[in-house]
């Protein structure tokens, strides 16, 4: 966020930014079932200020959301920091579901409604292609065995963490994105720490960066825009 610009804004201009946010959020909230979801958050640390995760059926739908924000009054105070474009996926090593419950799990991850939990963690990842540690040279059975350990660890956090995997090969610089939601950020840290010791991560995983954030709602925006003004009111 362009804090220098925000400091110079008068109350009317800030009000127009709030109106733009409400308009954008109204548009985002008009999502039909299984056709989209979104989550606004404050980024903790100095990698950014504001984050938005958006799910849509088509890339053209994402482009429309990007343009809507960029052309609005809200867009005037935003400076793009980083983005990640990917597609929702389910694990490819668990086999085809055999029950309605299994298919329900698949559909909930392919077309999710993002949770309202208070914290979000996003990180991209790659599978290494190093001599002696090349994930893509392993057989399917070997990769399935490695990922089974990951799944076992993840199931211990059921109810505490919601996890979504998105595939980005050909869409972005890294191969996958992992998004975790929780009401206690320490649970996120514990899960990722445990998984670091699994071979699929310890030997074959590469994690360029992590972003942790706190959910924000419309009620949080007035305080977000409230700074010590450098201009006249």
Evaluate whether residue 106 is within a structural domain: yes
Evaluate whether residue 47 is within a structural domain: yes
Per-position b or e across 107-131, b if 16+ CB within 10 A of its CB? eebeebebbebebbbbbbbbbeeee
N-term to C-term CA, the chain:
20
The active-site residue out of 123, 157, 164, 204 is 123
Predicted confidence (pLDDT) per residue in 210-233, tens digit: 999 999 998 898 888 875 544 433
Predicted confidence (pLDDT) per residue in 88-141, tens digit: 998 777 777 778 877 887 888 888 899 999 999 999 999 999 999 999 999 999
Per-position b or e across 9-26, b if 16+ CB within 10 A of its CB? beeebbeebbebbeebbe
CATH no. for residue 50? Answer: 3.30.70.1030
Evaluate whether residue 99 is within a structural domain: yes
Q: Judge whether 164 counts as a catalytic residue.
A: no
CA pair distance 110, 90, nearest whole angstrom: 7
Evaluate whether residue 233 is within a structural domain: no
* Residue 106, domain extent: 3-224
The total number of structural domains in the chain stands at 1
Evaluate whether residue 231 is within a structural domain: no
Which residue shows structure tokens 């110079």? 8
**Residue 108: what are its φ and ψ, rounded to 5°?**
-65, -25
Predicted confidence (pLDDT) per residue in 30-89, tens digit: 877 778 899 999 999 999 999 999 999 999 999 999 999 999 999 999 999 999 999 999
Predicted confidence (pLDDT) per residue in 159-172, tens digit: 999 999 999 999 99
* 171-to-82, 86, 114, 153 alpha-carbon distances in Å: 14, 6, 21, 29
What number of other Cβ atoms are within 10 A of residue 177's Cβ? 23
Evaluate whether residue 147 is within a structural domain: yes
pLDDT at 59: 95
């Amino acid at each position: 966020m362009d804090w220098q610009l925000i400091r110079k804004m008068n109350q009317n201009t800030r009000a127009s930014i709030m109106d733009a946010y409400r308009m954008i959020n109204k548009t985002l909230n008009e999502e039909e079932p299984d056709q989209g979801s979104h989550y606004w958050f404050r980024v903790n640390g100095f990698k950014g200020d504001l984050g938005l995760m958006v799910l849509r059926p088509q890339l053209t739908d994402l482009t429309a959301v990007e343009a809507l924000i960029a052309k609005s009054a809200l867009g005037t105070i935003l400076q793009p920091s980083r983005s990640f474009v990917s597609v929702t996926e389910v694990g490819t090593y668990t086999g085809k579901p055999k029950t309605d419950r299994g298919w329900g799990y698949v559909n909930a991850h392919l077309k999710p409604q993002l949770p309202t939990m208070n914290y979000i963690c996003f990180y991209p990842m790659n599978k290494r292609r190093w001599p002696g540690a090349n994930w893509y040279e392993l057989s399917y059975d070997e990769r399935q065995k490695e990922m089974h350990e990951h799944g076992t660890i993840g199931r211990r956090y059921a109810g505490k963490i919601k996890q979504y995997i998105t595939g980005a090969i050909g869409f972005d610089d890294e191969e996958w994105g992992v998004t975790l939601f929780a009401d206690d950020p320490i649970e996120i840290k514990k899960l990722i720490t445990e998984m670091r010791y699994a071979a699929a991560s310890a030997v074959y995983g590469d994690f360029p960066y992590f972003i942790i954030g706190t959910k924000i709602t419309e009620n949080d925006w007035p305080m977000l825009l409230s700074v010590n003004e450098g201009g006249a009111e």
